[in-house]
Structure 1
Amino acid sequence: MTWEPGRLDDQHHLTEADPGGMLLAVAASAAQVRTGRRAAVEAGVDRLVGQGRPRAVVVAGMGTAGLTGDILAAVCGNGVPLPIMTLRSYQLPGWIGATDLVIAVSATGDEEETVSLAVQAVRRGCGLLAVCPPGSPLEAVAVQASAIHVPVRPDGPPRAALWLLTIPVIVAASALGLVTAGPEVFERVAAALEDIANRCRPSSESFVNPGKSLAMDLAESIPMIWGSSPVARAAAYRLACQLNETGKYPAVFGELPEAGHNQVAALEGPLAERDIFADTAGPTLRLVMLRDVEEHPQVTRQREASLRLARDRDVPVSELTAEGLHPLERLAALVGLADYAATYLALGYALDPTPVATITELRARVSQ
């Protein structure tokens, strides 16, 4: 299994090697934003206001659905007047009760972890909002509890439905006054994703295509991906997950300043060394820095110093900068590029980006 960058500009290869249509699914992100907002409005998520502001918001979800909780917390920011946490497990913590809101998110509606958390939430008298396909077990829990259900129907693998799952959660948070996000914000997010889709389209050659260029940077390296803010951290986690699942590729993610207390030490380790005289070069470390315009001043200093440390040791560096006024826009700028890069990385290795055979096998073994 070898990396061949020329594959990324071979239109026949890009079509033949992507039978599941992952590139098309990524290109549909802008449409997901508009569809997700419309579904949330039509489902009446503004009725949450009548239940009063919750003591805490808990987002239950696995994989891409779980990332919606991280995005919600990042977009709401440190000024939000209540805790927001994400649960990726089977059990609600003991402190969650009737004054809290549980948002259960699932692209399929049948993940046992998320369904289990929703059932527990109902039993404890929590408020419940379900974002999932109609006719699913999770929807059944919501209907039985007379809870609000936002019907979404992902077209393609769950990991390609991030925006369809995330936007209803942001709309709900806006209704509760946790974040300011009117229709114009969602339209700007959609426009940003459309711009990325245009610049990263398959017919755009590698030297002008930021998605292909990033894939070429990441190939044959071990990416250590850091975010410089909660928004950038969520994007870093998304990139790592997409590299894992879509690219079948290892990656490490972190957030400054915490990464400066542990992961930075890898810059002095064996993967940071490159032997230019070796017959065959092994994978080496690459520092991928995701920047946000809203950084703590000390984090900015740590980011700049970390990049100097990497360059002083000849560790390759990639820097990506979030663009946009609203945190959701800035997140879209980073995530949109990450989704394309992971897909192109898989295609450069001649891997079909859609199937996840090992995940399917793991679930089958667990269910036996």
Structure 2
Amino acid sequence: MTLPDDQVLDDVDALVAADPGMMLRATGDAGAQVRRALAGIDRDAVRRIAADGRPRSVVVVGMGGSGISGDVLAAVCGSGCPVLVTTIRDYTLPGWVGPLDLVLAVSCSGSTEETLNVAAEAVKRGCRVVGVGSAGSPLEQTVRSTTSGVFLAVDAGDLMPRASLWLLATPLLVVANALEIADVPDSALERAADVLDSVATECGVAVPLADNPAKILGLSLAGSLPMVWGTSFVGDLAAYRMACQFNENAKLPVVFGAIPEANHNQVVSLDGPFAGSAGDDIFRDPFEDGSGPARLRLVLLRDTDEHPQDARRADVTRDIAERRGVAVHVVTARSGHVVERLASLTAIADWSSVYAAIALGIDPSPIGPINELKGRIA
């Protein structure tokens, strides 16, 4: 495995040169995305959605960096939500979805194949349909093919879907607040934008490695097999987000999970062949002989609003891992409204994934296998 380069993370010019797709700049844009989305949303359209009353359920349809906006909505709504909120990542709309349900179809480009299929089916079934994506796109045409359809346009510009999380999620949260299925006033979203800006200040390219939590985390995970576990809806989603960002940006495989479920299966991997330093050759020269086998590293993304038993489980899990020689990194959410807490964890995930890529000598922007796959099935 390639040895991570720590020196590049302390060289601003080298960082910029290693990121021709400007993923670092896009990551720093997260707070501004929230503000742009709030300023640009069609409030009359949102009022029309709310005027039809609370739906039986909310079904978010989307893929990849667009689909995760539905997970943001579900996490913010939480377990106390009066309606079911679920995300569909497929070509098929579940059989139980009908006219009593609200389908939110999200596609950054407005042309995602799976999302268009499901949105069209939702229109046929007479569902309440709301689209979020690029103006003038096939998704807008599909949504507006029904008189009750509402389309909320967003302009992602040259941002990739995975770099547009908050631009896409903010309209969903505004709709949820209008429907009174979640308490997400604009003021909470503005504070979340401030949190994203604050993390960007702490984790920006000019902040030295020694003082930069995202550079430290990214460098640590760059040469490892990361497992990322979260607590509560907030930590669980942040763990999934972190895995996806490391997959796409750093091109690394990552296992993600949720406490307590991970304590019933994934935790046993701490006794496996990739844990600790078992089997390592103490005389290995990493520069002449290579870095050796990758080892597990555990990341715990902890919400500040945890179930007491989840908090105990996270503490004991850390102890079990460290006793087996597995390094553990704990990232704790900032306090505040649920959307602020979520923003603080996803921001660290995003920044660290880009730094991991650059430390490995990888351009974080290209998504070759995705593009090849799309081309071959078109």
Tell me which interval the TM-score lies in, with the shorter structure as reference length. over 0.9
Question: For the residues of structure 1 that align with 2:37 and 2:146, how far apart are their CA atoms?
Answer: 23
- Cα deviation for residue 47 of structure 1 reads 1.5
Contact 1:132–1:139, Cα closer than 8 Å, also in 2 = yes
- Cα deviation for residue 273 of structure 1 reads 3.4
Secondary structure of 1:67's aligned partner: helix
Match of 1:305 in 2: 316
Match of 1:107 in 2: 108
Closer, same or farther: CA 276–328 of 1 in aligned 2, 3 Å: farther
Question: For the residues of structure 1 that align with 2:165 and 2:26, how far apart are their CA atoms?
Answer: 11
Question: For the residues of structure 2 that align with 1:241 and 1:105, how far apart are their CA atoms?
Answer: 18
Question: Identity across aligned pairs (percent)?
Answer: 44
Contact 2:228–2:239, Cα closer than 8 Å, also in 1 = yes
Contact 2:69–2:168, Cα closer than 8 Å, also in 1 = yes
Match of 2:215 in 1: 212
Match of 1:95 in 2: 96
Secondary structure of 2:164's aligned partner: helix
**Count of residue pairs brought into register by the alignment:** 367
Alignment equivalent of 1:175, drawn from 173, 178, 181: 178
Alignment equivalent of 1:245, drawn from 248, 252, 266: 248
Matching of residue 325 in structure 1 with residue 336 in structure 2:
yes
Cα distance per residue 1:196-231 (max 9 Å; x no partner): 111111111101111111112212111100001111
Closer, same or farther: CA 297–276 of 1 in aligned 2, 3 Å: farther
Contact 1:43–1:150, Cα closer than 8 Å, also in 2 = no
TM-score, length basis structure 2? 0.95
Closer, same or farther: CA 251–43 of 1 in aligned 2, 3 Å: farther
Cα distance per residue 1:111-162 (max 9 Å; x no partner): 1100111101010010011000001110111122231111111132111000
Question: For the residues of structure 1 that align with 2:19 and 2:267, how far apart are their CA atoms?
Answer: 36
Cα distance per residue 1:265-294 (max 9 Å; x no partner): 100000003126152431000110000111
Matching of residue 192 in structure 1 with residue 195 in structure 2:
yes
Contact 1:188–1:329, Cα closer than 8 Å, also in 2 = yes
Aligned AA (2:363): D
- Cα deviation for residue 36 of structure 1 reads 1.4
Match of 2:287 in 1: none
- Cα deviation for residue 43 of structure 1 reads 5.6
Secondary structure of 1:73's aligned partner: helix
Q: Could you list the runs of 5+ residues in structure 2 that have no partner in the other structure?
A: 285-290
Match of 1:277 in 2: 282
Closer, same or farther: CA 238–43 of 1 in aligned 2, 3 Å: farther
Question: For the residues of structure 2 that align with 1:270 and 1:181, how far apart are their CA atoms?
Answer: 45
Contact 1:45–1:175, Cα closer than 8 Å, also in 2 = yes
Question: For the residues of structure 2 that align with 1:136 and 1:250, how far apart are their CA atoms?
Answer: 33
Contact 2:50–2:175, Cα closer than 8 Å, also in 1 = no
Match of 1:20 in 2: 21
Alignment equivalent of 1:152, drawn from 151, 154, 177: 154
Contact 1:225–1:289, Cα closer than 8 Å, also in 2 = yes
Q: Could you list the runs of 5+ residues in structure 1 that have no partner in the other structure?
A: none
Match of 2:83 in 1: 82
Alignment equivalent of 1:268, drawn from 257, 268, 271: 271
Contact 2:61–2:89, Cα closer than 8 Å, also in 1 = yes
- Cα deviation for residue 40 of structure 1 reads 2.6
Match of 1:51 in 2: 52
Match of 1:341 in 2: 352
Match of 2:138 in 1: 137
Question: For the residues of structure 2 that align with 1:36 and 1:130, how far apart are their CA atoms?
Answer: 14
Question: For the residues of structure 1 that align with 2:3 and 2:369, how far apart are their CA atoms?
Answer: 20
Alignment equivalent of 1:236, drawn from 239, 245, 264: 239
Contact 1:18–1:352, Cα closer than 8 Å, also in 2 = yes
Question: For the residues of structure 2 that align with 1:28 and 1:95, how far apart are their CA atoms?
Answer: 38
Question: For the residues of structure 2 that align with 1:220 and 1:2, how far apart are their CA atoms?
Answer: 7
**Cα RMSD (Å):** 1.2
Question: For the residues of structure 2 that align with 1:61 and 1:340, how far apart are their CA atoms?
Answer: 23
- Cα deviation for residue 181 of structure 1 reads 1.4
Secondary structure of 1:44's aligned partner: helix
Contact 2:108–2:161, Cα closer than 8 Å, also in 1 = yes
Contact 1:225–1:252, Cα closer than 8 Å, also in 2 = yes
Matching of residue 294 in structure 1 with residue 305 in structure 2:
yes
Question: For the residues of structure 2 that align with 1:43 and 1:150, how far apart are their CA atoms?
Answer: 11
Contact 1:233–1:254, Cα closer than 8 Å, also in 2 = yes
Contact 1:43–1:149, Cα closer than 8 Å, also in 2 = no
TM-score, length basis structure 1? 0.97
- Cα deviation for residue 41 of structure 1 reads 4.0
Question: For the residues of structure 1 that align with 2:151 and 2:335, how far apart are their CA atoms?
Answer: 31
Aligned AA (1:282): P
Cα distance per residue 1:323-350 (max 9 Å; x no partner): 1311110000001111110011111111
